[in-house]
Structure 1
Amino acid sequence: MSDMTAEDWEAAFHGIELPETAQIDTGVFISNVPGFLEKSFAILHGGNERVAEPVR
């Protein structure tokens, strides 16, 4: 498990230009990178460690 907080993750992505799409593995694409990150941050802020763990 990462020692980074939700705020740390948000700060790591703050102010950088993000692509609209990204390929993260063979045949695995994220079609809306900003939306994907927004939802991931919301999960991290949710307070449920069991749900947040895979996002870290």
Structure 2
Amino acid sequence: MLEIREVEREKMSMKIAEAGYDIREQIKKIENAYNRKIGENIKFARSGKDEAE
């Protein structure tokens, strides 16, 4: 009986670890998209400033 609980606990640990990995991957994707957008905004702002001069 104790061995079954250990196996179930191990399975749950693996599921939690996989979910955590998936969440970290999604956060990386969001951060990359955000940083790209910030970069685009900076380029746009600089291009507008250059034209004004």
Q: TM-score, normalised by structure 1?
A: 0.30
Higher relative contact order (CA closer than 8 Å, sequence separation 6+):
1
Question: Which is higher, the Rg of structure 1 or of structure 2?
Answer: 2
Normalised by the length of structure 2, the TM-score is 0.32
Structure whose residues are more often strand by fraction: 1
| Greater share of helix | 2
